[in-house]
Structure 1
């Protein structure tokens, strides 16, 4: 009951975010819409018409629109000896080491769906990345421990999945730091990767992520599973988008993820049969 109340509260917070205070750089939709906490209801922003002769104001993006804006390219990192580089754009794919595909799951862990995803990954002996929200991880430490035991990589998806571009720097740090702390406590290692909710990145997120020793990872293939488009549609998006080095975005929480669970059971064996190596990235190669 406590976890259901948590998800309900998070949806209510998103539904209240009618006006967004900042836009993101030409980049993207975060894993989920919410990174997806599957925001099924689009928010409508009604602005007053501009005065005669005045340029039309640019309409702020809704949370769900962040997910739909494609991220492009890599930004040159600003490097400091002995520290994680500060990038200007997130990584979108991994180096092609022989038809490698990376599967990522955002918003969990959720005891209703994450165990089924872990079971499927174990059945095919592959590893994946889970970008967890700290508040969900706090209530499901056993799932973090299982991820560690089975060799999966756990990334930082903030504590409560807020829109980072609307937050002050100290709040962003708190969202990231608290999540890294709970991951370290139950997974055994601090996250080396992070993903901004909604794919809404800003300079503070890049800088703070680097200070905490994390690389920013976005995605190449968006399943849009948070829209619940149907299992076959999700499978088709993964199989059509498969290519060496791609990063696939799906969700294991934030709504009804039964389609995501069923889709994984279908497309994972097909990827493997097609000669793809499904694994997790190594920091030293990015």
Structure 2
């Protein structure tokens, strides 16, 4: 009997010890679980660079992480969550207030379902291969340098000087509000043989816009570009590479070609010259479209892009690949 009691006591001690250990580990893990998402994203993005060859799924993950990083870098910390609202008494089913409440619930449910049914960028590219491109549809010994967020009076002139020195023609996706401030830069692009594309009026995240606002962004920027270049651009790149299915269909109906990229320099992360070169050259191949930036947000340092550009041009040419504009790469006119 004494042995039995002793055995029971030992088992209880082991159980208590195990529970204590579990609680201790849980307490250790909680701070990690509460880390800010933006602090973890750079490591995730860095890991993805070496995870696997680029493809639709990896592209989708990289795009999502890039958007989240960019948004986290420019947004202030969110305010603490508001206290939960007090529980309201049940509203009679046949009352006007009850009908209003049910209507709001229905609308909320519909919005959630709409969000759940939204196609990813990879799915849109697969579904609309003629309207949404990441690269040239056919393999050829050509590639395209593209520069987003132009123009400004600091980095855009430096990029244009280098392209002129190496006799390279590129494609610039300009932001309408910036083109209004620096019209001379846009005119210089055209004079030196570059192609100008639409990159929205103020770099909005398009899927969050209603249809009228989205169309206004495109049309207003087209008008600005037309006054400076003499044509309405055929090529359009949505900010952050993000666009909804309905917006893509509207663009296609206006003879607009949506063009993203399949080689990302990640220069917007303000990386140095060697990292920009590495990010580009590891993925360069015939038919690719390379993303870089020739202007940035307030205080954004794009000196890595400027310093890396000569080496990128030389290394791509050493591979036997010619650098051309998007119209030449894709076999499309520059205007609608």
TM-score (norm 2): 0.62
Distance 1:98 1:207, change over 3 A: closer
Asked whether 1:148 is paired with 2:190, we answer yes
Within the candidate set 122, 126, 133, 1:75 is matched to 126
Asked whether 1:242 is paired with 2:313, we answer no
TM-score (norm 1): 0.72
CA RMSD of aligned residues (A): 3.4
CA distance in 2, matches of 1:130, 1:34: 20
Name the SS of the counterpart of 2:247 in structure 1. Answer: helix
Query: 5+ residue gaps in structure 2?
Result: 1-56, 83-111, 113-119
Distance 1:29 1:43, change over 3 A: farther
* Largest Rg, 1 or 2: 2
Contact 2:121 2:242 in 1 (8 A): no
Q: Deviations over 1:246-269 (max 9, x none)?
A: 111111112221111111122111
Q: Deviations over 1:105-143 (max 9, x none)?
A: 111111101111111111111111111100001111111
Other-structure match for 1:230: 272
Query: 5+ residue gaps in structure 1?
Result: 1-24, 49-57, 59-68, 79-84
Name the SS of the counterpart of 1:75 in structure 2. Answer: helix
Q: Deviations over 1:75-114 (max 9, x none)?
A: 3449xxxxxx7x3xx2010144632111111111111011
Other-structure match for 1:258: 303
Asked whether 1:270 is paired with 2:296, we answer no
Asked whether 1:201 is paired with 2:243, we answer yes
Q: Deviations over 1:178-200 (max 9, x none)?
A: 10111110012111110111111
Other-structure match for 1:167: 209
Q: Which has the higher helix share?
A: 2
Q: Per-residue deviation at 1:208?
A: 2.9
Name the SS of the counterpart of 2:158 in structure 1. Answer: helix
Asked whether 1:186 is paired with 2:228, we answer yes
Q: Per-residue deviation at 1:281?
A: 2.6
> How many residue pairs end up in the alignment?
235
Other-structure match for 1:92: 134
CA distance in 1, matches of 2:261, 2:309: 17
Contact 1:108 1:137 in 2 (8 A): yes
Within the candidate set 134, 152, 163, 2:176 is matched to 134
Distance 1:212 1:139, change over 3 A: farther
Contact 2:124 2:245 in 1 (8 A): no
Distance 1:35 1:264, change over 3 A: farther
Contact 1:40 1:227 in 2 (8 A): no
CA distance in 2, matches of 1:77, 1:230: 36
CA distance in 2, matches of 1:107, 1:77: 25
CA distance in 1, matches of 2:232, 2:70: 24
CA distance in 1, matches of 2:312, 2:69: 21
1 or 2 for the larger relative contact order (CA 8 Å, sep ≥6)?
1
Other-structure match for 2:258: 216
Q: Deviations over 1:120-168 (max 9, x none)?
A: 1111111111111000011111111111111111111100001111110
Within the candidate set 73, 77, 84, 1:40 is matched to 73
CA distance in 2, matches of 1:116, 1:256: 13
Q: Deviations over 1:26-68 (max 9, x none)?
A: 957779x6699787357767889xxxxxxxxx9xxxxxxxxxx
CA distance in 1, matches of 2:301, 2:61: 23
Within the candidate set 106, 114, 127, 2:156 is matched to 114
CA distance in 1, matches of 2:318, 2:261: 23
CA distance in 1, matches of 2:81, 2:150: 35
